[in-house]
């Protein structure tokens, strides 16, 4: 494992109790950071925090609830004193199906978590970063946001929106040493697969030239660099980690 310096940094990882979020939390802690897991499943988040160690705390929050996010921010600041890193990782896929068979409520639920949530979290945390004159924000988007997966229009659209949010916010904060970037992974074998049909899973795998899904540890390595001071000139950018699937 390459050494990345996150010593004395304090991070928030949404959806950090499992999957990508847990791997990112583990890599951050191994790199010297303290981490607040923001998750709707408090029991699982507390279990994860206990397993990783004393550098991790669990905070119960619905990231699409602005008041709840502000409370989570305040609780994190009380525990750590600062927030240097925000990773917007929490997300859902919704049910697979063509647009004309997608329920509006399912569309809205995916947008609420995958796009409204990161916006609300950024809105709550950025003022703290501005006061500190330092920050790193990493948004976990998806290759689906660049290409548009069939039978996953809501998920694809939400991740495309997250990419655009990344670019806009990156430009707004470029003069403040607060860098905002996104990563676009191919799928990984995490609990999110439980929300997909096997047909959709097989479709995603067939599109990856490397012939396998990304490992959560591989994504965590990329995110850790983007969250570090070494990432000093890239902002508003999208970093591909799709096993060769992305064509632009």
Alpha-carbon distance 42 to 61, whole Å? 8
Cα→Cα distances 123→6, 182, 244, Å? 23, 17, 33
Contacts of 245 (CB under 8 A, 6+ apart): 143, 147, 186, 207, 208, 209
Q: Which of 100, 112, 193 is nearest to 150 (CA)?
A: 100
Q: What are the start-end ranges of the H helices in 37-152? A: 42-52, 66-80, 104-111, 117-132, 144-147
Is 155 part of the annotated catalytic residue set?
yes
3-state SS assignment for residue 38: strand
CA angle centred on 11, ends 7 and 15, rounded to 5°: 140
| Both structure tokens of 188 | 């990984």
Q: What are the start-end ranges of the H helices in 133-245? A: 144-147, 153-173, 198-206, 216-226
| Both structure tokens of 238 | 């999208």
Contacts of 43 (CB under 8 A, 6+ apart): none
Please return the burial class of 116, using the count of CB atoms within 10 Å of its CB with bins 0-12, 13-18 and 19+: middle
Q: Which among 28, 80, 107, 155 is annotated as catalytic?
A: 155
Residues taking part in catalysis: 155
């Amino acid at each position: 494992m390459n050494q990345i310096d996150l010593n004395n940094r304090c991070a928030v990882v949404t959806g950090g109790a499992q999957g990508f979020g847990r791997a990112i939390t583990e890599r951050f802690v191994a790199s010297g950071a303290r981490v607040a897991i923001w998750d709707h499943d408090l029991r699982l988040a507390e279990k994860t925090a206990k397993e990783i160690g004393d550098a991790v705390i669990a905070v119960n929050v619905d990231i699409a609830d602005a008041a709840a996010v502000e409370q989570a921010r305040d609780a994190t600041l009380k525990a750590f004193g600062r927030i240097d890193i925000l990773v917007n990782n929490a997300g859902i896929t919704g049910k697979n199906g063509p647009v004309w068979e997608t329920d509006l409520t399912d569309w809205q639920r995916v947008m609420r978590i995958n796009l409204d949530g990161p916006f609300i979290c950024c809105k709550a945390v950025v003022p703290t970063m501005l006061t500190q004159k330092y920050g790193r924000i990493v948004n976990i988007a998806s290759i689906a946001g660049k290409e548009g997966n069939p039978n996953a229009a809501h998920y694809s659209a939400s991740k495309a929106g997250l990419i655009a949010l990344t670019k806009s916010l990156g430009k707004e904060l470029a003069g403040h040493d607060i860098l905002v970037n996104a990563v676009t992974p191919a799928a990984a074998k995490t609990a999110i697969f439980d929300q997909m049909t096997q047909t959709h899973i097989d479709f995603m795998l067939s599109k990856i030239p490397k012939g396998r899904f990304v490992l959560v540890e591989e994504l965590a390595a990329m995110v850790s660099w983007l969250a570090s001071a070494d990432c000093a000139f890239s902002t508003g950018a999208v970093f591909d980690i799709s096993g060769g699937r992305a064509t632009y």
